[in-house]
Structure 1
Amino acid sequence: MIRILSILVGLFFSVVLGYSFVVGAVSTASEGLPKTVEAQFHKHPEPLHLSSDGVFGRFDNQQLQRGFKVYQEVCQACHSLRHVAFRDLKAIGYNDDEVKAIAKTYQVPEYNKDTGEVKTRPGLATDKFPPVLYAGQGVPPDLSLITKARHGGAAYVHSLLLGYQEPPANLPKENRPGAGLHYNPYFANLNIAMPAPLTGDGQVTYTDGTKATKDQISEDVSAFLVWTAEPKQDKRRQTGWAVLGFLLFATVLAYMAKRQIWADKH
């Protein structure tokens, strides 16, 4: 009798505890947790549709070359591409002579093991893009893998480049940008040290006749940075579809063989 009573009491308290937990969870979910100022004003990246999106997507080499031009003329002064070699540019439509000509415009550091000195020389097609020596405060991130390293990928880069604006009137004083900072709601803490890199339409002159609007410039360099982060994407997808086709064929063949072998078995 005592054992039964103890079980009933324990069951009662378990039910009460479970009920309290459920009610508390529902109450918290309905009321919502208090948001930080950053969370209230932070914006998610706007959608960006590129030709490389989706399982059937492919890179647009003409756009990638425009994006590379934007990188050279706008981003290169502060941001490096240390995981990309000059010869990799052949994958986006440049020929050998063009790649060699591009490489020669860069000064690549070279270590002399005999003297211990580091000197620079014109780049070769086999070299990687040299590191950028930034004289300002902080170290700007390398852009080779930026679309993989940031949530939102290319859409984040695109929105960030176009997102510079004046702080809203209701933004608390302590969250307003201080000296050397700029308000951008697409940046995690709203204030970013990088000044707006895109100043307006026509900042870059495209050789293919594309109108260089501010939005187009941002889209092109975002597409280029998708390629630098995963230059083998097109080949990987082609291989993937070939493997899937082979597996489908092998599955059908195995099923037909099974039917043939076991046709007369009971």
Structure 2
Amino acid sequence: MIRIFSILVGLFFAAALTWSLFWDTLQLSKDGLPKSAAVEFGKAHELKPLKLSSDGAFGKFDQAQLQRGFAVYQGVCSTCHSLGLVSYRSLAALGYNEAEIKAIAGKATVNALDPLSGEMKDRKGQPSDKFPPVVYAGAGHPPDLSLITKSRHGGGAYVYSLLTGYEANQPAELLKKFPDSKTGAGMYYNPYFANLNIAMPPPLASDGLVTYSDGTPATKDQMAKDVSAFLVWSAEPELDQRHQTGLWWVLFLMFATTLGYMAYRNIWAGTKH
């Protein structure tokens, strides 16, 4: 009797849980997602397409584009955003030689320990140094860009969409339905940003903000693509090596599998099942 009662109690709780799950799913399907300005008018999950040479299992970085992207970072982004996890000597992967890297690092001022006095002092940057932190005087603290494409949904496409997604006016329907979402003073409307309004002014407000050494026209769209590619590299500089290593491992495993199958057929060829 106790056993039958225990089974009935178990069936009751299982039925209750099943009904609860079914009811919650039914209500969610009726109500949909919680209504908010970002859900209805944001484009965070509808990013602009960005095709880079590093995409895909066999992708490889385009050094020329990475150098252009680094030029955009230096000329536009570095005044506010740090790149604290990247060292100057890593720029060799972009095609810079030793003299060029020393020249780039030498333009920076690094606060480091003086081995003679044991005190922290400012000195010129060296290839072994990481990019120094940016001293920002404004309100808030702009994020470090070293891993930005790994920490944001969409990676490079997010950066590209954000940089090219500023709009002068908010949709009238948005202001009518969500008046609290109106862009305030010192803010800018960007549907690709999480809450639609961002404090960062459009960094690529016009063409020609940098001069590319390879002669590529520095349009707003081109600069956005190039700096996005550079930030993909800064977040994962070993991507090329991982792709190459993965390819060799796949080939090795295919070869080993073939040998194993041939050995199996040879050993058990005379055995009847």
Does the residue aligned with 2:96 lie in a helix, a strand or coil? Answer: coil
Does the residue aligned with 2:153 lie in a helix, a strand or coil? Answer: coil
Q: Write the letter of the residue equivalent to 1:219.
A: K
Q: Assess, with a 3 A threshold, how the Cα gap between structure 1 residues 263 and 154 changes in structure 2: closer, same or farther.
A: same
Distance 1:258 1:13 in 2: 52
Which of 213, 228, 246 lines up with 2:234 in the alignment?
A: 228
Provide TM-score, normalisation by structure 1.
0.90
RMSD: 2.6
Distance 1:231 1:14 in 2: 51
Q: Assess, with a 3 A threshold, how the Cα gap between structure 1 residues 77 and 31 changes in structure 2: closer, same or farther.
A: same
Distance 1:253 1:14 in 2: 51
- Compute the displacement of 1:11 (Å): 7.7
Distance 1:24 1:223 in 2: 43
Which of 167, 170, 184 lines up with 1:167 in the alignment?
A: 170
Which of 166, 183, 189 lines up with 2:195 in the alignment?
A: 189
* Structure 1, 153-162 or 44-53: larger mean CA deviation: 44-53
Partner of 1:29: 29
Distance 1:236 1:16 in 2: 49
Partner of 1:111: 113
Q: How many residues align?
A: 265
- Compute the displacement of 1:113 (Å): 6.5
CA contact (8 A) 2:58 2:244 kept: no
Distance 1:20 1:122 in 2: 65
Provide TM-score, normalisation by structure 2.
0.87
Partner of 1:38: 38
Does the residue aligned with 1:68 lie in a helix, a strand or coil? Answer: helix
Distance 1:220 1:20 in 2: 50
Distance 2:66 2:40 in 1: 35
* Structure 1, 128-137 or 256-265: larger mean CA deviation: 256-265
Q: Write the letter of the residue equivalent to 1:124.
A: Q
Distance 1:102 1:95 in 2: 11
Partner of 1:97: 99
Q: Write the letter of the residue equivalent to 1:42.
A: G
Partner of 1:49: 51
Q: Write the letter of the residue equivalent to 1:126.
A: S
**Contiguous gaps of at least 5 residues in structure 1:** none
Partner of 2:127: 125
* Structure 1, 133-142 or 161-170: larger mean CA deviation: 161-170
Distance 1:32 1:43 in 2: 18
Does the residue aligned with 1:109 lie in a helix, a strand or coil? Answer: strand
* Structure 1, 140-149 or 160-169: larger mean CA deviation: 160-169
Distance 2:131 2:142 in 1: 16
1:62 aligns with 2:68: no
**Contiguous gaps of at least 5 residues in structure 2:** none
1:264 aligns with 2:264: no
CA contact (8 A) 2:48 2:157 kept: yes
- Compute the displacement of 1:33 (Å): 3.6
Distance 2:236 2:199 in 1: 27
Query: Identity over aligned residues, as a percent?
Result: 59
Moved over 3 A (4+): 10-24, 112-117
Distance 2:110 2:208 in 1: 30
- Compute the displacement of 1:16 (Å): 9.2
Q: Write the letter of the residue equivalent to 1:43.
A: K
- Compute the displacement of 1:80 (Å): 0.9
Q: Assess, with a 3 A threshold, how the Cα gap between structure 1 residues 77 and 263 changes in structure 2: closer, same or farther.
A: same
Does the residue aligned with 1:216 lie in a helix, a strand or coil? Answer: helix
Q: Assess, with a 3 A threshold, how the Cα gap between structure 1 residues 256 and 24 changes in structure 2: closer, same or farther.
A: closer
Partner of 1:213: 219
1:201 aligns with 2:203: no
